Chain A
Amino acid sequence: MGWWLSDFTFCTGRYESGDWDSAPTLPANLIDSVARYTDIAVAPSAVIVPLSSPRILGFPLVYMTGHLPFRFSESERANARKLVDRGGMIFIDDHNHDIGGVFHKTAVEEITRTFGKPAELRNDHAIYKSFFAFPDGPPATSHELNGWGDNLVHKNLLAVMDGPRISVLYSNKDYSSEWNYHPDNKRFSSVDNTRFGVNIIVYALTR
C-alpha cells in the first residue's frame, strides 16, 4: 500500500443465488499476474464482498462466477447498477462454459434485466490490446479445446457498453476453471494463461 493511496484490490462479488466461490484461487492468481507484469499498486490478497452490501462500491472491478442459477436479489441488483453507473466494471464468467447451461441462461437473463441486453464484443476491442495483444480476440481455454461443456470454442465475449466503455463483461469461456490454480504453479506453464486477466484489470483501471 502506498502513502494512503488505495491499491487495486481484486474483489469477488458474492451473490446469494449460487456458488459464487467456485474459483477460490483465481483472485490470487490474477493478483500475482498483475504484480508479475505491471507496476500497478495491487493489494496482496483479494476480498470477497457481498453484492448486496454497499461496501461493494469501494471496488470498481468486481468478478463473479459460478455454476448454479445466477439471479440477483433486489439489493444486489440495485448495488450492481449503481456500481456500473458510477463507472465501475463487472466481469462475470460462466464456470460451466456451456451455452444453454443453467448459469449461462440465468446470467444472461439477469444481465439483460439489470444492465441491458449484452452484445457480442468485437475482437478488435481495446480490451484485447490494453496490455497484452490478443489479435484474435479472447484466448481459448483448455476446457473449450478439450471439449468440455458445449464442445464449442466461443469466438466472442459478451458485453454491455456504456458508450465506448465496457461496463459489464460476460464470458462463457470458463476462465474461472482456466485461472483457478495456485500462482506458484505458474512456473510449470510455458505460456501464462492468465495474461488476458491482466488485460481485463488494466482495461478496468484505465478506461
Chain B
Amino acid sequence: MRLPANRREWLELLLRGTAVVLIAVLGFRALFPAQARTGSDLIVARVADLPSLSRQSTPARIQFALDGIPTAVQRAWQNALKSAGSGVSWSGTANPVAIVARPVASPQGGYTLTAYSPDTTRLILRDNISTVDSMSMKGQPRSVVVPMASGNVRAVVGTDSAFARLSDSVIIGKILVIGKAGWESKFVMTALEEAGWKIDAIISVAPNVAVAQGSVTTIDTAHYAAVIALDESAATRATAIASFVKSGGGLVLSDLAARSGAFASLRVSAPGGAPHTSISSDTITHAEAAFSPILPSGNSVPLEERGGNVAVAAKRVDFGRVVQLGFNDTWKWRMQGGAESVSEHRTWWSNTLSQAVRSRRVTVDYAQSDPSPYTNLIDIAGHPVAPASPSQPLSQHSNEMLWLTVIGVLLFGEWASRRLRGAG
C-alpha cells in the first residue's frame, strides 16, 4: 500500500474511510434492526415515525411519546396499527379538550358552543375568521352563544385543540302570543318581531274586541312552534294549548298566566308568593325586575336564577316543552334599562323562547369534526403510561436520508480533491 505523499492525500483518505465506515454502520442497522438490538418487543416512537412503523413488520408493542394530541389522521393511523395487531400505548402530555356546537333554535341563528377542558386553564374558541371568545375553565363545561361563526369552530388549550363543524340552522314555525293589551304584550311582540320571529297574536282589548295579528284558527303543531301565554286571557284556550304541547309544541307561561287554574296541568310549578326585586347587578339590563320565584318541582329544570331563586324553569309535557317565567313586567328592562336594553330585552326573550320552541334541525355532518380528540386517543391507545425508554426513540430509523447525504458529501469531497490536484 502506497503511503500518502502529503496532507491533502491524508485528508482524502480520511474522507474515504469515514464514508466506508458509515456505509458499514448503515448496512449493519438494516440487517439487525433496533428491536433485535435492544432485545425488547417495545418500540418507542413518535407520531412522525408512523410512516416508518408502517413499513416494518408489525411490531408487538408501540409506545408513542407525545407532546400533544395527535391529529385525527395520526390517530387513525395509530388505530390501524392497533388493528394490525400492535399493542399501542402512549406517554407524555396532552390537554384533554372537547367542543360541541349546536345551532340555536331562533331566527337570529347562532350557535351554542359548549367546551370542556378539565384543568383550570384558559380555553380559546376560534373559527375560520378569528378568535371568537375565551373562557376560564374550572373543571366544568362552559357554554357561549355566538351569533356568528364561520367554518369550523375550534377549542384550543395550549397546543391541543378540538373542532366542530358548524351545521346549518334550524327550521322554526310561527309563534302565537296571547295576552291582554298592555305594555308587556306590546313589548314582547315587538322584541320577538325585532328578533325575526314570525308571530300571530290575539291581544284582548275589551270583551269580544281584540287586536289580532294573522288568522288564528287552530292551535296545533302544523301552524305554530310555540305559544306564549302572557296572562289569564289565554285561559280560554287552555285546552287547545294543552293538546298542542302534548303533541310536541312549546309553551311559554308568564307568571300571571301560570297562576291561572286552567294551566295547572301545564305549569312547571305553582308560582311562589311575594315578588322579589332582584339585585340590579343580577338583572340583564340593570333595570329593576321584580319577579316571583318559581318553586322547583320534581321534573322541572331551572333555566335561570336570580339571587338564588329560580326565575325561569322548564319541564317536558309528553312531546312538548313548557318554560315558565317568574316575570310579568319584562318590558321595564327594555324601557328603563341601560344603553343596550333594547337588544338585551330582545335577546332575552328570543333565547327564552328558543328553549321551548319546536324546531326541525338540519342533520349535522360530523364527518369533518374532531369534537373530542383526547377521548378518541384514550379509546385507541388507552390512558397515558410512564415513558418506557425516552432515550431510544424510533425516530433514528428515519434519518437514513441524512446519513446518505453525509456519505455523498464525503465522497464528493474526496473525489473533488483528487481531481483538482490532477490525480486520477
Interface residues in chain A, defined as those with a beta carbon under 8 Å from any beta carbon in chain B: 2-8, 37-41, 54, 57-58, 60, 83, 85-88, 130-131, 202, 204-207
User: Given that A5-B256, A206-B186, A206-B211 are contacting pairs, would A38 and B205 also be in contact in the complex, using a CB cutoff of 8 Å?
Assistant: yes
Q: Closest approach, in angstroms, between the C-beta of A114 and any C-beta of chain B?
A: 18
CA distance A76 to B419 in the complex (A): 99
Of B183, B209, B259, the most chain A CB neighbours within 10 A belong to B183
User: Given that A5-B329, A6-B329, A87-B334 are contacting pairs, would A39 and B187 also be in contact in the complex, using a CB cutoff of 8 Å?
Assistant: no
Please report which residues of chain B, range 176-199, place their CB below 8 angstroms from some CB of chain A when the two chains form the complex: 180-187, 190
Residue interface mask B196-240, A partner, CB < 8 A = 1: 000000011111010100000000000000000001000000000
CA distance A176 to B418 in the complex (A): 117
Q: Closest approach, in angstroms, between the C-beta of A137 and any C-beta of chain B?
A: 20
From A8, A54, A85, A130, B183 is in contact (CB under 8 Å) with: A8
Of the candidate stretches B293-301, B304-312, B335-343, the one touching chain A is B335-343
CA distance A88 to B186 in the complex (A): 10
Q: Closest approach, in angstroms, between the C-beta of B252 and any C-beta of chain A?
A: 16
Of B185, B186, B331, B335, the most chain A CB neighbours within 10 A belong to B335
B328 part of interface (Cβ distance < 8 Å)? yes
CA distance A207 to B328 in the complex (A): 19
User: Given that A60-B183, A87-B190, A202-B211 are contacting pairs, would A38 and B206 also be in contact in the complex, using a CB cutoff of 8 Å?
Assistant: yes
What are 25 A-B residue pairs whose CB atoms fall within 8 Å in the complex?
A: A4-B328, A5-B182, A5-B184, A5-B328, A7-B182, A37-B206, A38-B181, A39-B206, A40-B181, A40-B182, A40-B205, A40-B206, A54-B336, A57-B336, A58-B332, A58-B335, A86-B341, A86-B342, A87-B186, A88-B335, A131-B209, A202-B181, A205-B182, A206-B181, A206-B185
Q: Using Cβ atoms and an 8 Å threshold, which residues of chain A touch B255?
A: 3
What 3 pairs across the A-B complex have the smallest Cβ distances? A5-B328, A38-B206, A206-B211
A60 & B335 in contact (Cβ 8 Å cutoff) = yes
B34 part of interface (Cβ distance < 8 Å)? no
A3 & B181 in contact (Cβ 8 Å cutoff) = no
B89 part of interface (Cβ distance < 8 Å)? no
Closest to B335 in A: A57
Q: Majority SS of interface residues in chain A?
A: loop
Q: Closest approach, in angstroms, between the C-beta of B69 and any C-beta of chain A?
A: 49
Q: Using Cβ atoms and an 8 Å threshold, which residues of chain A touch B185?
A: 205-206
Residue interface mask B136-179, A partner, CB < 8 A = 1: 00000000000000000000000000000000000000000000
A4 & B290 in contact (Cβ 8 Å cutoff) = yes
From A58, A60, A87, A205, B181 is in contact (CB under 8 Å) with: A205
Please report which residues of chain B, range 233-263, place their CB below 8 angstroms from some CB of chain A when the two chains form the complex: 255-256, 259
Q: Closest approach, in angstroms, between the C-beta of A146 and any C-beta of chain B?
A: 32
CA distance A195 to B206 in the complex (A): 14
Closest to B211 in A: A206
Closest to A4 in B: B275
Q: Closest approach, in angstroms, between the C-beta of B418 and any C-beta of chain A?
A: 91
Q: Using Cβ atoms and an 8 Å threshold, which residues of chain B touch A204?
A: 186
Closest to B292 in A: A4
From A5, A38, A54, A205, B231 is in contact (CB under 8 Å) with: A5
Q: Closest approach, in angstroms, between the C-beta of A38 and any C-beta of chain B?
A: 4
Q: Closest approach, in angstroms, between the C-beta of B188 and any C-beta of chain A?
A: 11
Q: Closest approach, in angstroms, between the C-beta of A130 and any C-beta of chain B?
A: 7
From A4, A5, A57, A87, B187 is in contact (CB under 8 Å) with: A87
CA distance A37 to B336 in the complex (A): 30
From A39, A60, A87, A88, B204 is in contact (CB under 8 Å) with: A39
Q: Closest approach, in angstroms, between the C-beta of B275 and any C-beta of chain A?
A: 5
Closest to B205 in A: A38
CA distance A130 to B211 in the complex (A): 8
B205 & A206 in contact (Cβ 8 Å cutoff) = yes
CA distance A54 to B180 in the complex (A): 27
A38 & B209 in contact (Cβ 8 Å cutoff) = yes
- 14 other A-B residue contacts (CB within 8 Å) besides A54-B336, A57-B336: A4-B329, A6-B332, A7-B182, A8-B182, A38-B205, A39-B205, A57-B335, A58-B332, A87-B190, A130-B211, A131-B206, A202-B205, A205-B181, A205-B183
Q: Using Cβ atoms and an 8 Å threshold, which residues of chain B touch A60?
A: 183, 186-187, 331, 335
Q: Using Cβ atoms and an 8 Å threshold, which residues of chain B touch A88?
A: 335
B211 & A86 in contact (Cβ 8 Å cutoff) = no
A3 & B328 in contact (Cβ 8 Å cutoff) = yes
CA distance A40 to B210 in the complex (A): 11
A39 & B207 in contact (Cβ 8 Å cutoff) = yes
